[in-house]
Structure 1
Amino acid sequence: MACEEFIYSDDNFNLMSFWSDKTQSYLEQILQDTWEEKLKKNLFRYKLNITQTKVLPGKYKFVLKLNPDRITNRRPPEDLVSINQKFDPSGFNFTKISPNEIMFKINKKISKGHDDLVIVNVSPLDNYHCMFIPSVSQCLNQVITLPSLCKAIEIMFLTKSPSFRIGFNSLCAFASVNHLHFHCYYLTNKMLLETIPVKHLAGPCYVLLDYPARGFVFQISSVQNYIQQIRSVFRLIEYFQRCQVPHNIYITRGVAVDSSTDGVNCQVLNNMRDVIRVYVWARSSSAGLKRVLYNIKPALCELFGHITVKDQSEFDSVTEEVISNMLRNLVTETFEKVYQPVINLFESQDSQNLGTA
């Protein structure tokens, strides 16, 4: 697939991000300009038209958006029954897309020419919704690898806007295509999970407790040893993969998880984002799920608090209680099952680290 190639190095990374800073990184300029060009060529299944947006009253500040076309005009998802289901070359995959959907290759200077792609999402959820496809020609199934997770974090480092987000749905967690991909998009609302306090669990792992969707939290706090920090995230993901636990992942700018929000100036807290937070939710399987409340299929966005609905009646009637109950029902049983094993996982990592110190 011939296309332009975006080349970067560690010198291009940004850790700090500010809501008050409206300047764009070079990657963001390329991404947005290219996405707009694709939009003008009518490559999308529908024109993104979010007719209304509101923050639901209540504690969690869920963001609700009315996007009727995404529900009715998106590509039908595949029938996926195992989180490690093998890649099926006869089914839809990203080697079969139109070349016009490709935005650019994205590679580190030391690995120029690799076929890591950024493509448009032809069924956009929000502004500049695109997908990162690692090693497209290898036809990897929708199971995260350590190199792909590192690349996703590097893409986040290449942006400056705290509204840029990256996410991943595993199979049986509402992934729609069994070909390795991450979602990238802009959500311009400041979200609770950028700053919410979390509790230390073990090693580098924290837990999100004071929220309907309890989950696991990590932070990437350095552009020097970020790969070591990502290995800890991958340790948990790999455990879920081995144990067939469906999971959703959300990567966002945030404040350091171990900073006391009581001691942080409110003005600073409202503006500065000094780490990348990675949320990992273990959840019940979406395989065979027939009835979905309000046609909401809870995946990475919904778990983060970004909810899309399809019609005006849903937009008017959805409440914080409805969303909270949906998220609790989705994750609570699985979270409680894996809670102690995850503690054991990272306590054993601490023991190994002490043994090699």
Structure 2
Amino acid sequence: MAAKRRIAFDLNEFKKKYCLLQNIPNVFAYNLNVSESKYLPGTCKFYAELNPERTQLRRHPQTISSLRPKFDENMFNFKKINPNEQLMQITYNDIKVDMIINRSPLTPFHTLIIPDLNGEHAQHITIVSLNFSIRLLLDLQETTFRIGYNSPGALASVNHLHLHLINLDKVLYIDIAELELISEDYIYRLHPHMPTEAICFVVDKSDSEILLDVKIKQIYDFVMWLCENNFPHNIFMTKCINSINKLKIFIYYRQEFCVIKDLSYYNIAFCELSGYVPVGDKSLFDKLTEKDVIERIQNESGKISKNIYDYFNKKM
């Protein structure tokens, strides 16, 4: 049976509750205050923001050393949050999806999507979480909301399944990056002359239930293949800038397994790979260049072998 397309999510109610929580002491680690921002000079449109509080006040990230980690009740997990951090709970295909604030926000309305919170799922993507996230963004009329996911080894901070809903009203590198068709009529890669590598699936609100389910299953199967072959990965979902009804799902893959975040610098996760670079240090922000970011991305990601693209020649 095809999954339900509509999700009972009231964006106005969500925003109202989020704003109310900002007035309650000790819910957020800080009040978001991006003191400076800029596009880095160059051709890629990398956008940087200075947000020192996140560097100073966020929870220390966990070390997750496996792409298929086990849930550890003794470590911090989202069952241990302050109840005031919960915004709402949505029933989706018999699963309860919790929307909780990110208490150390990057953007306005930065929220964590926690599918089946009490199911104690480790930070390993599920087809339910992909279905929910993709359908949620397809239904939203605002183009500024994006969803991201970091796998273990690709800067995941908490070993409890979660995705990030962020709100960023900026054109990013990934919004305008050139694509090259590799399979079907909706599976692309970033063009070889682009400075980063990723696979991109395009889904459309006009897709039939059957086709949408097929696309999501293809995304899930590819991510599972990455796990089986020890490729850490990041996911970024964003509306197409020329069509509010189309959604691009980028899957970045990495050769190198990174388990520790350097909180004194900036890290390469789904935000940075997509062209959004939050920085916590003023001196670093002032001297940051597009070349610096690209070199750091390429050094952390490593050169991807051809078998990534062979996957689609064999499977699709």
Instruction: Return 155-164 or 70-79, whichever deviates more.
Output: 155-164
From 192, 200, 213, the counterpart of 2:196: 213
Please state how far the C-alpha of 1:274 moved relative to its aligned partner.
4.0
From 9, 12, 15, the counterpart of 1:29: 12
Q: 1:331, 1:169 → 2: CA distance?
A: 13
Cα offsets for 1:208-253 (capped at 9, x unmatched): 1333221111111244232211111112101011122110000000
Q: Structure 2: where are the runs of 5+ without partners? A: none
2:250 maps to 1:279: yes
2:43 aligned residue: 59
1:142 and 1:177 in contact (8 A); partners too: yes
- Aligned in 2, Cα 1:32/1:288: closer, same or farther, shift over 3 Å? closer
2:61 and 2:260 in contact (8 A); partners too: no
SS at match of 1:325: helix
Q: 2:288, 2:5 → 1: CA distance?
A: 44
Letter in 2 for 1:303: L
Please state how far the C-alpha of 1:306 moved relative to its aligned partner.
0.2
From 200, 203, 208, the counterpart of 2:181: 200
Q: 2:118, 2:139 → 1: CA distance?
A: 24
2:284 aligned residue: 314
1:180 aligned residue: 161
2:98 and 2:114 in contact (8 A); partners too: yes
Identity of aligned residues (%): 28
Q: 1:134, 1:322 → 2: CA distance?
A: 36
Cα offsets for 1:134-184 (capped at 9, x unmatched): 001110000001111111111112311111000000011110000000000
TM-score of the aligned structures, taking structure 1 as reference length: 0.81
Please state how far the C-alpha of 1:299 moved relative to its aligned partner.
0.3
Q: 1:158, 1:41 → 2: CA distance?
A: 30
Q: 1:72, 1:211 → 2: CA distance?
A: 33
Cα offsets for 1:32-55 (capped at 9, x unmatched): 111111111131011111011111
The correspondence of residues 243-254 of structure 1 with structure 2, limited to 5 A, is 243-254=229-240
Q: 2:170, 2:90 → 1: CA distance?
A: 27
Cα offsets for 1:186-228 (capped at 9, x unmatched): 0110223223321122345311133322111111124423221
2:107 and 2:167 in contact (8 A); partners too: yes
SS at match of 2:22: helix
From 29, 37, 43, the counterpart of 1:45: 29
TM-score of the aligned structures, taking structure 2 as reference length: 0.91
Q: Structure 1: where are the runs of 5+ without partners? A: 1-8, 14-25, 256-268, 351-357
SS at match of 2:79: coil
Letter in 1 for 2:233: H
Q: 1:223, 1:33 → 2: CA distance?
A: 31
Identify the structure with the greater helix proportion. 1
Letter in 2 for 1:307: V
2:69 and 2:122 in contact (8 A); partners too: yes
Letter in 1 for 2:220: F
1:84 and 1:244 in contact (8 A); partners too: no
- Aligned in 2, Cα 1:120/1:254: closer, same or farther, shift over 3 Å? same
Q: 1:160, 1:273 → 2: CA distance?
A: 7
Q: 2:7, 2:115 → 1: CA distance?
A: 20
Please state how far the C-alpha of 1:288 moved relative to its aligned partner.
5.2
2:269 aligned residue: 299
2:82 maps to 1:87: no
Q: 2:82, 2:213 → 1: CA distance?
A: 34
2:304 maps to 1:326: no
Instruction: Return 200-209 or 150-159, whichever deviates more.
Output: 200-209
SS at match of 1:229: helix
Q: 1:187, 1:93 → 2: CA distance?
A: 26
- Aligned in 2, Cα 1:250/1:344: closer, same or farther, shift over 3 Å? same
SS at match of 2:158: coil
2:6 and 2:139 in contact (8 A); partners too: no
1:214 and 1:332 in contact (8 A); partners too: no
Q: 1:279, 1:332 → 2: CA distance?
A: 17
- Aligned in 2, Cα 1:212/1:155: closer, same or farther, shift over 3 Å? same
From 98, 112, 136, the counterpart of 2:82: 98
- Aligned in 2, Cα 1:47/1:288: closer, same or farther, shift over 3 Å? closer
From 195, 201, 213, the counterpart of 1:227: 213
Q: 1:170, 1:12 → 2: CA distance?
A: 25
2:37 and 2:48 in contact (8 A); partners too: yes
